[in-house]
Amino acid sequence: MKEEIDKHTGEKWIQLNDEEVKYGFLAQCIEALAEAEHSNYIAMFERLENVNMTEGYILAHYNVLHTESIENIIADLKALLHKRESDKRT
């Protein structure tokens, strides 16, 4: 993270590096998926970690995922989460 001042307006702004942007995207996905599943953030994070979807899917496929609408991302993540949890139980 790098704080800068706009030379034209004098306003401060923060520039995030690529990794910070990716982790922000991951957080947004977890929050939105938790809301869609009527769950809390921590419980959703644990579910995703349990089936290797945080780093193994969301971050690994960030370049493709972040180009989609949040609605499509959440629908896809929800379906994949349920599939992976089901596969893990069997």
Q: What is the pLDDT of residues 31-89, one digit of tens each?
A: 999 999 999 999 999 999 999 999 999 999 999 999 999 999 999 999 999 999 999 88
Q: What is the pTM for the complete model shown?
A: 0.85
Strand (E) or helix (H) holding 4: strand 2-5
Both tokens assigned to 65: 């995922």
**What angle, rounded to 10 degrees, do the helices at 70-89 and 41-50 form?**
60
Does residue 13 have a pLDDT over 90? no
**What angle, rounded to 10 degrees, do the helices at 41-50 and 18-36 form?**
110
Position 19 scores a pLDDT of 95
Give the pLDDT band (50/70/90) at residue 7: confident
